[in-house]
Amino acid sequence: MNTTLRPRRDRLTAAIAVASAAVISSIASARDKDDHDEGRHEEHAANRVERGFELVPRGVTLNPVGRNRQLLGLGSYIVNTAGCNDCHTHPSYAPGGDPFQGQPEMINAAQYLSGGRVFGPFTAANITPDYAGRPAGLTLEAFLTVMRTGHDPKDPPGPPLQVMPWPSFGKQTEHDLRAIYEYLSAIPALANNPQPGP
């Protein structure tokens, strides 16, 4: 073998070894980051579930029987941070509990999500469960349809729901929408708000 080629071959072998080590190190680092990120994601998800239970309005008692605790807590987190109360509870706050008036927040538990907020010709629906535990009387499949398309299968064909931000909610994962449904099925059933208004 030509002795002048040996140093080149040795340098090439060394370069390949260094490059391979760098690639392996990079892959291992990426795996560690993925594992770390996944751990942080799981921790974040658990925090949202626990925070959801903290956000259930005072005076609202959940029925957890036969329900998935993780979905229930996550559903509460989404519903109680996404403004559902603003439209589906009228009035939104109990007397003396309006944060927009500088008062300590107190949700109107007596009419919680029973509808009644009027927007011109539209009135927000009662989304509490019916006698069978179905939010707004909707099966899960029908609820998903409403949230994704704005069409309530119980209504005659026509334009999609107005005012309701279904285009935003419809972008959520099915897991999140199922969590919302789980939570709404566990809140107290109420009759339609007897005093609708703006």
Could you report the per-residue pLDDT of 125-146, keeping only the tens digit for each? 999 999 999 999 999 999 999 9
What contacts 66, CB < 8 A, 6 or more positions away? none
Position of tokens 């469960």?
A: 129
Q: How high is the pLDDT of residue 45?
A: 80
For the stretch 10-66, pLDDT in tens is: 665 555 655 555 556 666 666 665 555 666 667 778 899 999 999 999 999 999 999
DSSP reduced 3-state for 62: coil
Q: Model confidence at 186, in pLDDT bands (50, 70, 90)?
A: very high
Q: How high is the pLDDT of residue 80?
A: 98
Structure tokens at 124: 């927000």
Q: How high is the pLDDT of residue 18?
A: 56
Q: Are the C-beta atoms of residues 175 and 144 closer than 8 Å to each other?
A: no
| pTM of model > 0.85 | no
**How far apart, in whole angstroms, are the C-alpha atoms of residue 53 and residue 74?**
8
Cis peptide preceding 156, ω within 30 of 0? no
**How far apart, in whole angstroms, are the C-alpha atoms of residue 166 and residue 149?**
7
Q: Are the C-beta atoms of residues 129 and 187 closer than 8 Å to each other?
A: yes
The CA dihedral of 126, 128, 131, 133, to the nearest 10 degrees, is: 140
